Amino acid sequence: MTCWRRAASTLPNARPPHQWTPGLLWHAYERLEIASKHPGLRYGPVDLIGLIRFELGLDQEPRPHRTVVEERYGAWLARQEQAGASFSADQMWWLDRIKDIVITSASFSTDDLDGVPFTERGGTDGFLQTFGIDWSQQLLTDLNRTLTA
């Protein structure tokens, strides 16, 4: 029996119509000791990515999306530092907010720069001014590829 079927069998309403939520699914994996417990974490739709990646054999264990993105972001920043890049406090504000968008939406596009919270700092124009036109697109592409992989 697959992990998914074992986990699903521990849920209420195991027969259709199912009223499962991402939180219920995660707690089922936790009860079976397949997934680590993350007290206080509220699971949302993007956290299903971790369950799917696990079921497809891409990951050794299911991990919440926030955890994965935070780890990838930290590693990306470390690689940038090792390559000699340093970011100002203003640049870190932009990078941290991009990471936050990926945590909640599972993706990031340049269109997101013209939405909240970026509009308070000038949107796309503010981003280009902060990072420079030449480096901005490469930076966004690299960061997006790293965080959403």
Question: What is the SS3 assignment for 23?
Answer: helix
Average pLDDT over residues 34-58: 90
Q: Distance between CA atoms of 105 and 103, rounded to whole angstroms? A: 6
Confidence bin at 8 (pLDDT 50/70/90)? low
User: From the DSSP assignment, how many helices (H) and strands (E) are in the chain?
Assistant: 7, 0
For residue 85, pLDDT over 70 is answered with yes
